[in-house]
Amino acid sequence: MGSQWELIVNFLQYLGVTIPLLLVGLLVFIFTTPYNEFRIIQNGKEAGDPQKVAAAKAVAYDLGGKLTGLALVIASAVYHSVGLMDLVIWGAVGILFQVLVFYFFELVTPFRVIREIPEGNVAVGIFTSRLSLAAGLLMAALISY
């Protein structure tokens, strides 16, 4: 029975690090874009304005992709880490990596991603979400080496 308690304590410790890492990642993602994601998402409820609905979808795809990509990195870090500090370091690297991937994409596209998403270009939002997922998957795999 003692080992069960140790497993529960270990679970709670890692949970106590992973949830704040995701929240910090969310805050970093929000502060590194020039638009207010939550306001745009909230304004998407105005069904009479198709542009606001499309903008909300584009932003939700983009932000959701970044969080999911980060979660993949954090999950791999939990699996491969040698301790909580190792997990924190890889989580921070994952956050930075997601931001860098977004802005690298901004540099290489013939359009402005930071303008297209809040203007309601859902295709760009979907593409950036998939890019974030791909980046997260690759980084998650790289942690194991």
Tell me the whole-structure pTM to 2 decimals.
0.91
Q: Which pLDDT score, from 0 to 100, does residue 106 have?
A: 92
Here the tokens at position 78 are 């939990």
Residue-wise pLDDT for 90-119, tens only, equals: 999 999 999 999 999 999 999 999 999 999
pLDDT at 61 exceeding the cut of 90: yes
Residue-wise pLDDT for 66-76, tens only, equals: 999 999 999 99
**2-31 and 50-80 helices cross at what angle (nearest 10)?**
140
For all residues of the chain together, what is the average pLDDT?
94
| Residue 33 dihedral angles phi and psi, to the nearest 5° | -115, 150
pLDDT at 1 exceeding the cut of 80: no
DSSP state of 83: S
